[in-house]
Amino acid sequence: MAKREKHAVTIYTRYERFWHWSQALLIFVLAFTGFGLHGTHDLLPFSQAVMLHTFAAIALILLWIFTTFWNFTTGNWRQFLPNTKGLFAVIRYYAWGILFGEDHPHKKTLRRKQNALQGLAYLTFMVLIGPALWLTGIIYLLYDLWNEIPGAADGLFVVAFLHTAAAFLMVTFVIIHIYMTTTGKTPLHYIKTMISGVERVELTEVERAYLAEEHPERLKE
Amino acid sequence: MCANKRLVDPAAWLLALLFPTLLILADAHAAAEIERGINEYADTSQSHLKSPDDPPAGVRVSSSTADHAEFKELQGPFSSGPEVTKACLGCHNEAGHQFMKGIHWTWEYQHPVTGQTLGKKHLVNNFCTNARGNEGMCAQCHAGYGWKDDSFDFSDQGNVDCLVCHDATGSYYRTPNSQGNAACSVMFEGKQPIDWAKVAQSVALPDRSNCGTCHFYGGGGDGVKHGDMDSSLKHPDKTLDVHMDAQGLNFSCTECHQGEGHQWSGSRYNMDAKDSEGTGKPGQRRQVATCESCHGDTPHPGNSLKAVKLNGHTDRVACQTCHIPTFARGGVATKTDWDWRTAGKLKDGEGFKLKEYTQGNGEHRATYKSIKGDFKYGENLKPSYAWFDGVMNYTTIDTKFDPQAGPVKINSFNGAYDNPASRIWPFKQMHTTQPYDKGNNTLVYMHLWGDDPDSFWGNYDFGRAIKVGMERNGKPYSGEHGFIDTVSYWPITHMVAPKEQALACAECHAKEGRLSELNGFYMPGRDGFGWLDIVGYMAVIGALLLALGHGVVRIVMCKKRVTEHCRDGE
């Protein structure tokens, strides 16, 4: 095994951070307006909620299309490959170890920025919750194109039902996700990392040499 | 028409002095709005008079190629309506034949879908209940002269009343075709005699006052029946009706109720509840009264998301539903409830009325009349809403119903969310308790009007009025009457508000919104998902509690210095 050294490195590139934070903003807007339309709250006039919800949805879909493209061209998609190795260690850590000052079982590396549980959660987000929302959302949005098909009104019920179910999952995901950001070295550590993109990770000598040669700006120390 | 405001009549004062019972005076004083006499039509007889500030009837009038005042045929002298009609028909030799085919003449309508025979000649409503047999009074609104009983000749075009629709002076008026009971005998006191020649020379296309003479006063008074049609539409401002706005578009009725050959579109018996033809081909004149025939089926302009979303509604929601937020908005009230059971109370052996409702324009409306019973009124009313396919079914005089099965629907209609021909329409509901045949379970014809001992408006005897009403019209009657609750539905389509006042989305897209009564289909904002919502909210709350609990334990462990997570700054 190659010798590893900890270095402060930009692990989240500028695009990844843009993706993350714009996605966060859009999801917040969508959840707020969406649950307004659902009747959960009454803080926004219905017509404005429809406008905001629709435009935010279109923006998010565009962002996701572009990010999917980005993920595959940069090879970043590999970060999200399901990997059960160490999954139970991570679960045990969050349920127990973290309360007693144990070290996180996952060591962040450039090749694997996320732990197994995190990867699985994000994969669920990207291949299940997200698509469920945009698929049903687009069908919902285009209701006027299919509303003359017999049974369309019942179809709309199914579409809206699935959309709402996925929205509940999304909100649940976001709550847990936000809480998990406080579990770093300090409560704000992960947030700061997601803003600056810089994290101390173990680098192999090869990785260090590669970064020094090709991306010296990513190597902070 | 009938004597009115007898309290100010000197003769009434004299009478009161002759019977100097303090009781009478005290009574009159306590209820200042009690009026002796039973008639309510006097105020409406002035209704169609023109006022000096009347705007011109509409551009089409001024473009006429003929000045009727110059025609020697119209110089008179005339002494009656039929004489004028004869002069009219001398030139307009097809007009009479055209007109006599229409419902304004026949008062009869064969419904092409249900096959029912409808029209005022046959139907029972839940206002004064039946024109049938009471034509002496009711046929004041028949566009012909002299229909007072079965002897009226429907094939004689000389009986057509041209003037009621075409008089442009506003000085033409009609009186009942037969004498009513003595209690109603004082008619048209102080009315100017009609200057027949002047009226005949001043004919024009009908304006709102012409149609309004009858259609604003249906049900026995201003605004009583429809709720979206009353005398306030003679000079409406833009807020009351964008199209009829007297200072604006100033539409006459026929701008929308397109017609040809004295036949007009837009009868509520058979409505075009969903017009998918829209404006038709360029230049095509469609004989329909739909909004779409002018505005098309994508009436909200622009390519904005809002316009697209609104236009997405037009296939399921009638224009009227959003664009007529409330009806009876012009200061004139409409009747909403009527109880016939209390009719017939007398004060000192005389019928009377109580005027305890003051409507928006300041006029007092009768809340009780000896001849009719108790009423309730409403103004600025929210319609009720229902899926409607345009086809009205009627409970006719021949329909047997189950008196236990809830209110009898005078008219009902089909329509459902999964019926593509129907849309959500606004309605006025009229609730009445009225007489019915307890033995045969049918509605009844009452003999209300007449100068004879059997007429209800005079003897206040339901049993006798019903027996005679049924007998004279050849309908079976068991001999026993009761009272039954009825409801009728009046599609709301006038009093279109400016677009800024159209309903906001949340008027319907809300849990307790205007469409909360309509079932069977999903509507965003109105409907939840039952168990999914419960599970969903529980998941969200569960996640919050989990985070909170976990966080608290972490803070505690940190305070106990087991861990160091809680200290910020690296």
Chain-centroid distance of CA A67 in Å reads: 11
Q: What value does the mean pLDDT take over residues A67-74?
A: 93
Taking contacts as CB-CB distances below 8 angstroms, the residues of chain A near B535 are 168
* Lowest mean pLDDT segment, chosen from A108-122, B132-146, B488-502: A108-122
pLDDT value at B97 more than 90: yes
A99 and B522: CB-CB below 8 Å? no
**Nearest chain A Cα distance for residue B497, angstroms:** 19
B212 and B174 in contact (C-beta within 8 Å)? no
For residue B17, the model assigns a pLDDT of 43
Q: What value does the mean pLDDT take over residues B542-559?
A: 91
Can you tell me which residue has the tokens 């129907």? Answer: B422
Say which residue, B490 or B36, is predicted with more confidence.
Answer: B490
Q: Give Cα separations from B335 to B130, B209, B547 (angstroms).
A: 17, 21, 60
B522 and A143: CB-CB below 8 Å? no
pLDDT value at B443 more than 60: yes
B491 — phi, psi (to 5°)?
Answer: -60, 135
**Are β-strands B352-354 and B384-388 bridged in parallel, bridged antiparallel, or unpaired?**
unpaired
**Over chain B, what is the mean pLDDT?**
87
Q: What value does the mean pLDDT take over residues B256-264?
A: 92
Nearest to A185 among B420, B547, B570 (CB): B570
Taking contacts as CB-CB distances below 8 angstroms, the residues of chain A near B537 are 168
Taking contacts as CB-CB distances below 8 angstroms, the residues of chain A near B274 are none
Taking contacts as CB-CB distances below 8 angstroms, the residues of chain B near A179 are 546-547, 550-551
| CB within 8 Å of B306: residues ≥ 6 apart | A47, A51, B300
pLDDT value at A17 more than 90: yes
Q: What value does the mean pLDDT take over residues A178-186?
A: 89
A144 and B511: CB-CB below 8 Å? no
- d(Cα A171, Cα A2) in Å, to the nearest integer? 42
Q: Which of A168, A145, A133, A152 is nearest to A35 (CA)?
A: A168
Q: Give Cα separations from A62 to A57, A58, A69, A160, B398 (angstroms).
A: 9, 6, 11, 22, 65
B375 and B398 in contact (C-beta within 8 Å)? no
B543 and A143: CB-CB below 8 Å? no
Q: What value does the mean pLDDT take over residues B219-236?
A: 93
B524 and A37: CB-CB below 8 Å? yes
Q: Give residue A96's pLDDT band: very low, low, confident or very high (50, 70, 90).
A: confident
133-192 in chain A: CB under 8 A from chain B: 143-144, 147-148, 150-151, 153-154, 156-157, 160-161, 164-165, 167-169, 171-172, 175-176, 178-179, 182-189
Taking contacts as CB-CB distances below 8 angstroms, the residues of chain A near B551 are 179, 182
Nearest to B305 among A51, A147, A161 (CB): A51
Nearest to A186 among B305, B529, B569 (CB): B569
B433 and B338 in contact (C-beta within 8 Å)? yes
Chain A residue with Cα closest to B511: A39
Taking contacts as CB-CB distances below 8 angstroms, the residues of chain A near B554 are 98-99, 183
Q: Give Cα separations from B201 to A116, A163, B49, B53, B71 (angstroms).
A: 96, 69, 17, 21, 8
For residue A219, the model assigns a pLDDT of 86
pLDDT value at B514 more than 50: yes
pLDDT value at B43 more than 50: no
Q: Give residue B290's pLDDT band: very low, low, confident or very high (50, 70, 90).
A: very high
Nearest to B522 among A46, A160, A168 (CB): A160
Number of neighbouring beta carbons within 10 Å of residue A195: 13
Q: pLDDT tens digit string along B154-195?
A: 999 999 999 999 998 888 988 888 887 766 655 556 678 899
**What percent of chain A is predicted at pLDDT more than 70?**
99
pLDDT value at B72 more than 80: yes
Taking contacts as CB-CB distances below 8 angstroms, the residues of chain A near B316 are 147
pLDDT value at B569 more than 50: no
**Nearest chain B Cα distance for residue A144, angstroms:** 6
C-alpha count within 13 angstroms, C-beta hemisphere, residue A33: 19
For residue B565, the model assigns a pLDDT of 61
Q: What value does the mean pLDDT take over residues B530-538?
A: 95
Q: What value does the mean pLDDT take over residues B299-321?
A: 93
**What percent of chain B is predicted at pLDDT more than 90?**
69
Q: Give residue B332's pLDDT band: very low, low, confident or very high (50, 70, 90).
A: very high
B526 and A39: CB-CB below 8 Å? yes
The string of DSSP letters for B345-399 reads: --BTTB-EEE--EE-TTS-EE-SEETTTEEEEEESSBPPEEEEE-SBEEE--TT-
**Are β-strands B373-378 and B368-369 bridged in parallel, bridged antiparallel, or unpaired?**
antiparallel
pLDDT value at B30 more than 50: no
B506 and A165: CB-CB below 8 Å? no
**Nearest chain B Cα distance for residue A98, angstroms:** 8
For residue B20, the model assigns a pLDDT of 41
Q: What value does the mean pLDDT take over residues B520-529?
A: 92
For residue B189, the model assigns a pLDDT of 61
**Nearest chain A Cα distance for residue B130, angstroms:** 42
Say which residue, A51 or B30, is predicted with more confidence.
Answer: A51
For residue B239, the model assigns a pLDDT of 96
Q: pLDDT tens digit string along A110-153?
A: 777 888 888 888 888 989 999 999 999 999 999 989 988 988 98
Taking contacts as CB-CB distances below 8 angstroms, the residues of chain B near A188 are 568
Tokens for B381? Answer: 């009313």
Q: Give Cα separations from B551 to A95, A114, A191, B421, B556 (angstroms).
A: 11, 22, 16, 58, 9
39-58 in chain A: CB under 8 A from chain B: 39, 45-47, 50-51, 54-55
**Nearest chain A Cα distance for residue B227, angstroms:** 30
A144 and B535: CB-CB below 8 Å? no
Taking contacts as CB-CB distances below 8 angstroms, the residues of chain A near B542 are 172
76-95 in chain A: CB under 8 A from chain B: 94
A101 and B563: CB-CB below 8 Å? yes
Residue ranges in chain A assigned as alpha helix (H): 14-38, 46-74, 87-95, 116-124, 130-141, 143-146, 152-180, 189-196, 205-214
- d(Cα A54, Cα A76) in Å, to the nearest integer? 29
- d(Cα A79, Cα B119) in Å, to the nearest integer? 77
| CB within 8 Å of B540: residues ≥ 6 apart | A168, A171, A172, A175
pLDDT value at B496 more than 80: yes
Chain A residue with Cα closest to B542: A172
Nearest to A100 among B533, B563, B570 (CB): B563
* Lowest mean pLDDT segment, chosen from B122-131, B246-255, B482-491: B246-255
Residue B61, classed as helix, strand or coil, is: helix
Say which residue, A115 or A17, is predicted with more confidence.
Answer: A17
pLDDT value at B25 more than 70: no
Q: Give residue B56's pLDDT band: very low, low, confident or very high (50, 70, 90).
A: low
For residue B225, the model assigns a pLDDT of 96
**Nearest chain A Cα distance for residue B245, angstroms:** 29
pLDDT value at B432 more than 70: yes
Number of neighbouring beta carbons within 10 Å of residue B247: 10
For residue B16, the model assigns a pLDDT of 43
Taking contacts as CB-CB distances below 8 angstroms, the residues of chain A near B539 are 168-169, 172
B510 and A39: CB-CB below 8 Å? yes
